[in-house]
């Protein structure tokens, strides 16, 4: 073997390490002549200069009025728009379809290149997520900030890295205790074995000072979950949210629990329709007041529902399939002809419209909503599905500015970190996205990512594209690994 073959990759690695770490630590960065959309609610401010020092925003002001330090790296952003970094508040990046053996190298860069500088992981391998969190925070890996639950608690199923079954109230308490000790940032639930177990879990979370979020168990209404501190409710349909607004809730809820026990989706559908038909405005208003009073958030995850219920829109040659391992991409393509998948999609399609209605109603009433993509279900691609979710929220009645604020300032408020994240303000962490078109005019423009700043590290379009190329290579390699075995 020629020695050059060895030396070249080594040199490249060294170069990469040097350039990456200098990006992460370069202290002064100045972005000039940019339109600032700060997400505080203020109108866009044209021709501004943003000075970044040590990973924080040090100053913002009219370009004519700010003195640019000589040693700073200067980026002329004329014609560009700067917004806070996006937060996708419902992802699965280290569990379910995302296997941590490959997903770190593929999904973290993919998210970052889409302008996503923070994620809330709603069920995955806790040890993997916490180690990635450390790598991202230290600058050792490019990617978004991670807030992680670890495994979600469920009333049945096998114990896996992403799933933690509990059979009763004592086990629910023990799970909270264990996950908190292991470093979970919050507790996620998808179902509970009983009402007792749910209230025990809520009580334990309160005692241990840790938040919980997730699906409403079918035994539990939205208001009572809110009253015991559930921090966010995920999805409408999967949480049977409409039942909480129904005048026939007392009759429908036991029927739904029975349908769940016997996996009777026909009965579930019938109950869902009856719940919609018996919508009670007075009851809905009372539940909404409770959610607002308690500070309970809701994550509609409309894009995921839109994608899953419309397989006819799936493109088997979708270029984004190159970001999932080939074996999984093949499975997704093949599922296109699966009659069971089609039945499920049709079922979802019949239920789905109510989720847009509920999103609109809660938003109008002032219940805070989170932007969550629920990636990585089939064809729900990380990054892309986040931007899709913003468009769906606009379709449900948000203004583009409101959708943008939900994904930035809203996420920061939810996390209790609005003093340092979520808006473009002096003193805040420099997590920023530069767009080449105005997102307030058209929400689809959030996709036009020109550059990303994460904790002060600047990624121009070329740097983001090389992250994407690397991610694709990593995804393609997963097949080779499998074939070798």
What is the smallest separation between the CB atom of 413 and Zn ion, expressed in angstroms?
A: 21
Joined tokens for residue 24: 């992460």
77 binds Zn ion (CB under 5 A): no
Beta strand 145-148 with 86-91 is unpaired
d(CA 237, CA 255): 16
Q: What 3-state DSSP class applies to 164?
A: strand
- Name which of 97 and 208 has its Cβ closer to Zn ion: 97
Name the nearest CA neighbour of 193 among 235, 157, 237, 233.
Answer: 157
CB of 260 to Zn ion, least distance (A): 18
Instruction: Return d(Cα 51, Cα 333) in angstroms, integer.
Output: 47
Give dist(CA 214, CA 217) in Å, integer. Answer: 9
Return the range that interacts with Zn ion (CB under 5 A); candidates 47-55, 117-125, 351-359, 376-384.
117-125
Judged by beta carbon, residue 93 or residue 390, the one nearer Zn ion is: 93
Q: Where are the beta strands (DSSP E) in 13-115?
A: 28-36, 45-53, 56-62, 73-76, 81-84, 86-91
**Cβ-contact 147, 121 below 8 angstroms:** yes
Stretch that binds Zn ion, among 128-136, 166-174, 312-320, 368-376 (CB under 5 A): 368-376
Which of 24, 107, 113, 122 is in the footprint of Zn ion by CB under 5 A?
A: 122
Cβ burial of 337 (10 Å; 0-12, 13-18, 19+) is exposed
The whole-angstrom separation of Cα 226 and Cα 287 is: 9
- Closest to Zn ion by CB, 55 vs 378, is 378
Candidates 116-124, 143-151, 291-299, 343-351: pick the segment binding Zn ion (CB under 5 A): 116-124
- For the segment 1-60, give every residue that binds Zn ion (CB under 5 A): none
Cα distances (Å, whole numbers) of residue 449 to 280, 383, 399 = 43, 11, 20
User: How many residues make contact with Zn ion (CB under 5 A)?
Assistant: 2
| Chain length of the chain | 485
Stretch in the footprint of Zn ion (CB under 5 A) among 16-24, 206-214, 282-290, 370-378: 370-378
Q: Are 373 and 386 in contact (CB under 8 A)?
A: yes
CA triple 232-304-266, angle to 5 deg: 90
Cβ 67 to Zn ion shortest distance, Å: 48
Burial class (CB in 10 A: 0-12, 13-18, 19+), 317: exposed
Shortest CA distance to 239 belongs to which of 230, 247, 248? Answer: 230
Based on the shown chain and the rule CB under 5 A, indicate whether residue 136 belongs to the binding site for Zn ion.
Answer: no
The span of 64-72, 122-130, 210-218, 472-480 binding Zn ion (CB under 5 A) equals 122-130
407 DSSP 8-state letter = I
The residue among 90 and 180 lying less far from Zn ion, judged by its C-beta, is 90
CB of 154 to Zn ion, least distance (A): 12
Q: How far is the CB of 26 from Zn ion (least distance, A)?
A: 36
Choose the binding region for Zn ion from 57-65, 151-159, 177-185, 371-379 (rule: CB under 5 A). Answer: 371-379
Give the position of tokens 């923070």.
Answer: 118
Which is closer to Zn ion, CB of 173 or CB of 215? 215
Q: How far is the CB of 418 from Zn ion (least distance, A)?
A: 24
Q: Is 374 in the site for Zn ion (CB under 5 A)?
A: yes
**Alpha carbons 84 and 117: distance in angstroms, whole number:** 9
Q: Which is nearer to Zn ion, 97 or 270 (CB)?
A: 97
- For residue 377, the minimal CB distance to Zn ion (Å) is 8
Instruction: Give 122 or 230: the residue with its C-beta nearer to Zn ion.
Output: 122
CB of 74 to Zn ion, least distance (A): 42
Work out the number of other CB atoms within 10 angstroms of the CB of residue 401: 18
What angle (nearest 5°) sits at the alpha carbon of residue 378, between those of residues 107 and 356? 100
Alpha-carbon distance of 109 to 17, in angstroms, equals: 16
CB 42 to Zn ion: min, Å: 33
In the complex with Zn ion, which residue's Cβ is closer, 162 or 374? 374
Nearer CB in complex with Zn ion: 290/301:
301
Q: Which is nearer to Zn ion, 122 or 371 (CB)?
A: 122
Q: Which lies closer to Zn ion via its Cβ, residue 60 or residue 213?
A: 213
Closest distance between Zn ion and the C-beta of residue 68, in Å?
44
Residues binding Zn ion (CB under 5 A): 122, 374
């Amino acid at each position: 073997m020629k020695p050059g073959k060895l030396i070249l990759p080594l040199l490249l690695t060294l170069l990469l390490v040097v350039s990456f770490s200098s990006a992460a630590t370069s202290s002064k960065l100045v972005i000039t002549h940019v339109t600032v959309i700060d997400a505080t609610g203020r109108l866009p401010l044209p021709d501004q200069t943003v000075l970044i020092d040590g990973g924080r925003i040090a100053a913002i002001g009219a370009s004519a009025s700010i003195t640019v330090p000589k040693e700073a790296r200067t980026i002329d952003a004329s014609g560009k728009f700067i917004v806070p970094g996006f937060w996708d508040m419902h992802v699965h990046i280290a569990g379910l379809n995302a296997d941590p053996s490959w997903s770190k190298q593929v999904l973290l860069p993919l998210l970052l290149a889409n302008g996503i500088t923070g994620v809330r992981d709603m069920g995955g391998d806790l040890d993997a997520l916490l180690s990635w969190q450390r790598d991202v925070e230290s600058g050792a890996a490019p990617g978004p900030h991670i807030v992680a639950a670890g495994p979600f608690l469920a009333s049945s199923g096998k114990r896996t890295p992403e799933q933690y079954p509990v059979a009763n109230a004592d086990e629910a308490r023990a799970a909270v205790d264990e996950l908190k000790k292991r470093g979970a940032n919050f507790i996620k639930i998808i179902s509970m074995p009983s009402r007792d177990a749910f209230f025990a879990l809520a009580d334990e979370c309160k005692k241990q000072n840790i938040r919980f979020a997730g699906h409403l168990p079918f035994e539990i209404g939205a208001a009572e979950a809110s009253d015991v501190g559930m921090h966010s409710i995920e999805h409408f349909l999967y949480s049977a949210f409409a039942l909480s607004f129904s005048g026939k809730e007392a009759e429908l809820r036991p029927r739904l629990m029975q349908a769940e026990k016997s996996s009777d989706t026909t009965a579930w559908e019938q109950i869902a329709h009856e719940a919609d038909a018996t919508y009670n405005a007075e009851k809905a208003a009372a539940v909404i007041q409770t959610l607002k009073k308690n500070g309970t958030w809701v994550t509609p995850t409309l894009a995921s529902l839109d994608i899953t219920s419309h397989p006819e829109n799936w493109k088997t040659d979708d270029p984004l399939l190159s970001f999932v391992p080939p074996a999984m991409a093949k499975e997704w393509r093949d599922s296109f002809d699966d009659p069971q998948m089609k039945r499920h999609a049709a079922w979802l399609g019949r239920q789905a419209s109510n989720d847009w209605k509920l999103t609109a109603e809660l938003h109008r009433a002032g219940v805070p909503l989170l932007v969550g993509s629920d990636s990585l279900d089939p064809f729900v691609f990380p990054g892309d599905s986040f931007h899709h979710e913003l468009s769906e929220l606009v379709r449900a009645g948000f203004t583009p500015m409101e959708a943008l604020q939900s994904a930035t300032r809203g996420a920061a408020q939810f996390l209790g970190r609005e003093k340092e994240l979520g808006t473009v303000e002096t003193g805040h962490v420099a997590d920023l996205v530069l767009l080449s078109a105005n997102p307030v005019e058209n929400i689809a423009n959030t996709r036009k990512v020109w550059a990303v700043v994460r904790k002060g590290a600047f990624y121009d379009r070329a740097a983001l594209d090389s992250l994407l190329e690397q991610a694709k290579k990593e995804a393609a390699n997963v097949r080779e690994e499998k074939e070798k075995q």
